[in-house]
């Protein structure tokens, strides 16, 4: 790193969090080389439909698609104050024969907006792979711990038992919803296509001597050549900014899912029941050497919060557009959309890293269950006694008294919960030690949680993973910690 760079702001998303793959998608090189690919596609399709463009001109454009002189483009932009025209001139300097037909009939939105949609498409493809990889890791975790009973929590107060694997299924289902929503968005994502200055295609109609069918064909051919199934049916100069808001909303939804998962892990780590990975030489605190902070989950919640907050910007931009276009969207789009994708990418990399190394402490979980299960078992105990002929109301009152005494011992004196011992010593209940032990069998308190894990994975997760692998949407590389 140069000394000068230390005097400039460095974006943490690029320096610390997001992957090189996602960074490249929104990089200047990818952006401006995509502009050139769009100009080539336009020229090629115009030639195929009869405009006087030569193979030599297209070959020249193709030969210089990647060798962009950024310094020259910067000089042109300082002069003409227009980024697209700066790159038209820069490209033209490299391609003198093709210069006359670069950007023929197009407006700035042709390259700007279509590139934005390509970046959105490619960004979501990478995101889908990350989600599939995360779901696959959580699947293995859920299967391994499908039968591991643990306290359920409502209001963060001990509630009926569930299993560690079932809780992981809650995380997975949120992610399945995100995966399916993003996939649906991608399957229906339209291209701007070739629409002209106010969306009327007037310039192209002039180029093709008033032939409407050729203009429609040009729009279709360019769209398909860039990998899209169809273009927007009507536009102003730009595509409707609701497309951006929809993308932002999907990223916000993903962030909500990851935030919830990370918060659960943070709370479980406080309880010492489950921990995120902790490296051998990792330092939890500069002052307190014993600490094992859930720093990955904390980082993930921090980035997720940023994504959720950014979602408001595309919403406001979509609402603020005037007629066929205004330019107050541009600066906002340059910041909010890429940063949401970069942040989501970073969150998924962290989540994958956590899921790949989650540690469960069954003995701690069992101790916590032992502390609370006597209270939860009271209704089962009453029912067992009633079957033997006891009076429910009498036993209910006795259990209430015993429960209050046991709770007082736990809370006021810091002692072990001795409710079961109190019931065993009370002849009114008439239960043997073995009978009480059977009534406290943990597996009878988890309901169908273990079965739900296997059913959910078989019906929902396995098909998704198989389809994702078949489609090539599987990415777990560049794991960050």
What pLDDT shows up at residue 26? 97
Contact, 148 vs 166, CB < 8 A? no
The two most distant CA atoms of the chain are separated, in Å, by 103
Contact, 169 vs 199, CB < 8 A? no
Q: Which residue has the higher pLDDT, 236 or 415?
A: 236
Residues, the chain, total?
481
What pLDDT shows up at residue 316? 95
Contact, 58 vs 104, CB < 8 A? no
Question: Would you kindly state where each structural domain of the chain is located, as residue ranges?
Answer: 24-104, 109-145+166-278+289-364+458-471, 378-439
What pLDDT shows up at residue 480? 38
Active-site choice (155, 270, 281, 286): 155
Residue 155 among the catalytic residues = yes
Q: What is the pLDDT of residues 289-319, one digit of tens each?
A: 445 789 999 999 999 999 999 999 999 999 9
Determine the average pLDDT of the residues in 204-227. 98
Work out the burial of residue 62: count CB atoms within 10 Å of its CB; fewer than 13 is exposed, 13-18 middle, 19 or more buried. middle
Q: Which residue has the higher pLDDT, 357 or 434?
A: 357
Residue 297 among the catalytic residues = no
What pLDDT shows up at residue 154? 95
What pLDDT shows up at residue 406? 85
What pLDDT shows up at residue 407? 85
Q: Class assignment of domain 378-439?
A: mainly alpha
Read off the tokens for 435: 């009978």
The model's confidence at residue 286, banded by pLDDT at 50, 70 and 90, is very low
The model's confidence at residue 279, banded by pLDDT at 50, 70 and 90, is low
Contact, 193 vs 480, CB < 8 A? no
Q: What is the pLDDT of residues 106-155, one digit of tens each?
A: 999 999 999 999 999 999 999 999 999 999 999 999 999 999 999 999 99
Can you name the CATH fold of 109-145+166-278+289-364+458-471? Answer: Fumarase C; Chain A, domain 2 (1.20.200)
What pLDDT shows up at residue 5? 65
Q: Which of 389, 471, 441, 455 is nearest to 142 (CA)?
A: 455
What pLDDT shows up at residue 479? 40
- Say how far apart CA 35 and CA 112 lie, in whole Å: 7
- Global pTM reads 0.91
> Do the first three CATH levels of 24-104 and 109-145+166-278+289-364+458-471 match, i.e. the same topology?
no
Q: Which residues contact 40 (CB under 8 A, 6 or more apart)?
A: 58, 61, 62, 65
The model's confidence at residue 430, banded by pLDDT at 50, 70 and 90, is confident
What pLDDT shows up at residue 379? 82
| Cα angle, residue 163 at apex, residues 162 and 165 outer, rounded to 5° | 140
What pLDDT shows up at residue 478? 45
Question: Percentage of the chain surpassing pLDDT 70?
Answer: 94
- Say how far apart CA 148 and CA 164 lie, in whole Å: 6
DSSP character for 191?
B
Determine the average pLDDT of the residues in 397-426. 86
Q: Which residue has the higher pLDDT, 38 or 6?
A: 38
Pairing of strands 274-275, 359-360: antiparallel
Q: What is the pLDDT of residues 226-274, one digit of tens each?
A: 999 999 999 999 999 999 999 999 999 999 999 999 999 999 999 999 9
Say whether pLDDT at 481 is over 70. Answer: no
What pLDDT shows up at residue 427? 85
Active-site choice (54, 140, 285, 477): 285
Can you name the CATH fold of 24-104? Answer: Fumarase C; Chain B, domain 1 (1.10.275)
Say whether pLDDT at 52 is over 90. Answer: yes
Q: Which residues contact 473 (CB under 8 A, 6 or more apart)?
A: 125, 128, 129, 132
What pLDDT shows up at residue 384? 87
Average pLDDT score over the chain? 92
Question: Percentage of the chain surpassing pLDDT 90?
Answer: 77
| Cα angle, residue 202 at apex, residues 200 and 206 outer, rounded to 5° | 160
The model's confidence at residue 378, banded by pLDDT at 50, 70 and 90, is confident
Chain position carrying tokens 């070959």: 59
């Amino acid at each position: 790193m140069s000394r000068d760079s230390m005097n400039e702001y460095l974006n943490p998303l690029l320096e610390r969090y997001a992957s090189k793959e996602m960074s490249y998608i929104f990089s200047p090189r990818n952006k401006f080389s995509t502009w050139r690919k769009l100009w080539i596609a336009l020229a090629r399709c115009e030639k195929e439909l009869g405009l006087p463009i030569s193979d030599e001109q297209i070959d020249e454009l193709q030969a210089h698609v990647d060798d962009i002189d950024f310094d020259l483009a910067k000089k042109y932009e300082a002069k003409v104050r227009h980024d697209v025209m700066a790159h038209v001139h820069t490209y033209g300097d490299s391609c003198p024969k093709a210069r006359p037909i670069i950007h023929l009939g197009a407006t700035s939105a042709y390259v700007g907006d279509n590139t934005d949609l390509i970046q959105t498409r490619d960004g979501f493809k990478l995101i889908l792979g990350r989600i599939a990889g995360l779901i696959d890791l959580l699947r293995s975790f859920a299967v391994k711990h499908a039968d591991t009973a643990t306290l359920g929590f409502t209001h963060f107060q001990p509630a009926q038992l569930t299993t560690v694997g079932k809780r992981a299924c809650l995380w997975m289902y949120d992610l399945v919803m995100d995966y399916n929503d993003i996939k649906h968005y991608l399957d229906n994502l339209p291209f701007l296509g070739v629409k002209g200055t106010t969306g009327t295609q007037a310039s192209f109609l002039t180029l093709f001597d008033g032939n409407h069918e050729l203009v429609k064909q040009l729009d279709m051919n360019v769209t398909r050549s860039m990998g899209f199934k169809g273009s927007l049916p009507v536009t102003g100069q730009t595509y409707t900014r609701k497309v951006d808001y929809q993308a932002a909303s999907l990223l916000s939804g993903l962030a909500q899912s990851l935030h919830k998962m990370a918060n659960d892990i943070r709370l479980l780590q406080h309880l010492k029941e489950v921990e995120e990975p902790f490296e051998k030489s990792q330092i939890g605190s500069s002052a307190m050497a014993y600490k094992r902070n859930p720093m990955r989950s904390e980082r993930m919640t921090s980035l997720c919060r940023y994504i959720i907050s950014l979602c408001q910007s595309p919403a406001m931009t979509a609402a603020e557009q005037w007629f066929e276009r205004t330019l107050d969207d541009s600066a906002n789009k340059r910041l909010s959309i890429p940063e949401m994708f970069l942040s989501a990418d970073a969150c998924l990399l962290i989540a994958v890293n956590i899921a790949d190394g989650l540690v469960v402490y069954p003995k701690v979980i069992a101790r916590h269950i032992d502390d609370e299960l006597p209270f939860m078992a009271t209704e089962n105990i009453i029912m067992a006694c009633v079957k033997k002929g006891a009076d429910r109301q009498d036993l209910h009152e006795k259990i209430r008294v015993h429960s209050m005494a046991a709770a007082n011992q736990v809370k006021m004196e810091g002692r072990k919960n001795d409710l079961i011992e109190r019931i065993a010593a009370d002849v009114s209940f008439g239960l043997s030690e073995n009978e009480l032990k059977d009534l406290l069998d943990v597996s009878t308190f988890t309901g169908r949680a273990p079965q739900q894990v296997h059913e959910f994975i078989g019906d929902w997760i396995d098909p998704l993973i198989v389809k994702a692998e078949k489609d090539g949407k599987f990415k777990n590389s560049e794991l960050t910690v």
